[in-house]
Structure 1
Amino acid sequence: MPVDHYENFPVASILVPAPLRQPIEVIYRFARSADDIADEGDATPEQRLAELAAYQAELDRIAAGNTPQTPLFVDLAEVIADHALPIQLFRDLLDAFAQDVVKTRYADYPELIDYCRRSANPVGRLVLALFKRTGDTQLMQSDCICTALQLINFWQDIAIDWQKDRIYLPQVEMQRFGVGEDDIAAGRCGEGWEKLIAFQVDRARTLMLRGAPLVHALPGRIGWEIRLTVQGGLRILERIARVRGDVFRHRPKLGKADWFVLLARSIRM
């Protein structure tokens, strides 16, 4: 799976069992549309927050047993009811998207991880709930994969996020490696930058590998979906390392040829 846009979400592909494709697609529509409210277009911060508040109000209606007012949430209410999905996970996603509207810097890694806990991890937990795989170890492994995918997207899109006045690199770690915001603005990849990005790549890879055994707990085709997702994320990290962190001139992406590599590696997991 390419790591792009709402890339921490395993989109319902042909590998997902047919009965669960529609629920996953509905959850994806919710997450993608809410993410777009926070991130796309030229709306003011006030307008974005108001639209996200309207999403929260629809979740409140579902939680109260009332009929939602929009088609998306009518579908979502049915999925939540049919699969007993925790509504707090949807609230967490909206909370993270609202944070993106107003917060553009992260002081340290724990602060960034707290954001990932709400922006990425709920998606994996919702998928596990659909498959009735919600043991403590499975949830932990899912969180590792989803957080790693979120971090990978951050490091892949440093230049893009800079254009939105966002920096997800922890400020204390930038200082530790002697990197300033002016380096990002100039696309400067000196020794400090290379070491900073190598550090982020290694940490994201470790997190991904910690979660990777989850694939053995998932049945059939969904296991393969997650295998490809994990390997796609690891492949992006390889690309970042190969260009020594220069994501300004070499934004890593996956092409058709990469699918053969991902499949071969997935077989060996």
Structure 2
Amino acid sequence: MTTIGLTTDTEQAYRTCLDIASRHYENFPVASWLLPSRLRRPVAAIYAFARTADDLADEGDEIADARLHALTRMGECLDLATAGNPPDDPIFIALADAVPRHNLPVDALHDLLSAFRQDVVKSRYRDFGEVMDYCRRSANPVGRLILHLYGRNTPDNLAQSDAICSSLQLINFYQDIHSDYCDRGRIYLPQDEMTRFGVTEADIADRSSTPALRRLLQHNYQRADRLLRAGAPLGARLSGRIGMELRAIVVGGARILHRLQHQGEDLFSRPHLDFRDRVAILRGALLPPRRR
């Protein structure tokens, strides 16, 4: 059945985006039962856009210039879509409907493309400021777009969402230090801090869990924890499904970070959440902390 207000082409475009999301929904709330059905289509369109752009930056054997050209073309198609003249592509047909229908900020989508283009050409980060600038464009736009979809995009909410999304991006970096280096040639740990703590690229290449690396990682874990705590009150403040979804995400991030902070000898092992962690996530989603 075609949704009221959607043409057959637009409905089919959304279905294609939902299919993309259902196959690759990790780290994105498309498949969550907490997401209201009315938002599944626009969220799927956003996800399909981000997933496609991310794959252009990372997957396949194309040279850097070809990847950059493809990402630039995605930006041009996005502008055409938001001007009401989308190319014959389901992702942009869906976005041409979702952006004006939900008053989504197009600059957030362009920020994602900017981060993916940076991934093609930049593999080292001089200091933490550069890392946070990347997080601002690679992670924060997702939270901002979700808040716009729910109509809860106040300045305070956006700021706390940014803190949560940046923290989750950092936690993801810390889980994937070795694979990022081996598979993509990237190191997201700040270069000045690696020097200060006495950590070398050879330590990462060799999976050497040195005392120096442990000290560097604990320093970064504490910073990610502060960001996550700074944004966490947003989950208690937001009511309904968005609040439950956000609280689950924050508790999940906190549990992963706790596992990282208490790793044994292998600092490169990726933590896995067990049944107790999942119970804690469910409890945190259903029972918001009392406001003080």
TM range, normalised to the smaller chain? over 0.9
Equivalent residue in structure 2 for 1:165, among 175, 185, 190: 185
Amino acid at match of 2:195: Q
Q: Answer yes or no: is 1:213 the counterpart of 2:213.
A: no
What is aligned with 2:222? Answer: 202
Normalization by structure 1: what TM-score?
Answer: 0.93
Does the CA-based 8 Å contact 2:111-2:137 persist in structure 1? yes
Offset of residue 133 of structure 1: 0.8
Does the CA-based 8 Å contact 1:6-1:32 persist in structure 2? no
Stretch of structure 1 that moved more, 177-186 or 218-227: 218-227
Offset of residue 136 of structure 1: 1.0
Counterpart mapping for 1:50-199 below 5 A = 50-163=69-182, 164-199=184-219
Q: Answer yes or no: is 1:232 the counterpart of 2:242.
A: no
Normalization by structure 2: what TM-score?
Answer: 0.86
What is aligned with 1:222? Answer: 242
Equivalent residue in structure 2 for 1:251, among 260, 270, 287: 270
Offset of residue 224 of structure 1: 0.9
Q: 2:30 & 2:272 partners in 1: Cα distance?
A: 17
Aligned pair in 2 of structure 1 residues 128, 259: CA closer, same or farther (>3 Å)? same
User: Structure 1: any 5+ residue segments left out of the alignment?
Assistant: none
Q: 2:141 & 2:239 partners in 1: Cα distance?
A: 20
Q: 2:25 & 2:180 partners in 1: Cα distance?
A: 14
User: Structure 2: any 5+ residue segments left out of the alignment?
Assistant: 1-23
Q: 1:194 & 1:179 partners in 2: Cα distance?
A: 9
Aligned pair in 2 of structure 1 residues 247, 75: CA closer, same or farther (>3 Å)? farther
Which of the pair has the greater relative contact order for Cα pairs under 8 Å at 6+ separation?
A: 1
Q: 1:40 & 1:257 partners in 2: Cα distance?
A: 35
Aligned length: 264
Q: 1:261 & 1:147 partners in 2: Cα distance?
A: 22
Stretch of structure 1 that moved more, 77-86 or 8-17: 8-17
Q: Secondary structure at the match of 1:187?
A: coil
Q: Answer yes or no: is 1:20 the counterpart of 2:36.
A: no
What percentage of aligned pairs have identical amino acids? 51
Q: Deviations over 1:122-173 (max 9, x none)?
A: 1000000001111111000000010001000000000110111100000011
Does the CA-based 8 Å contact 1:26-1:72 persist in structure 2? yes
Q: Answer yes or no: is 1:42 the counterpart of 2:61.
A: yes
Aligned pair in 2 of structure 1 residues 18, 227: CA closer, same or farther (>3 Å)? same
Offset of residue 8 of structure 1: 5.4
Offset of residue 7 of structure 1: 6.0
Offset of residue 6 of structure 1: 8.2
Segments of 4+ moved more than 2 angstroms: 5-12, 62-65, 216-219, 244-248, 253-258, 264-269
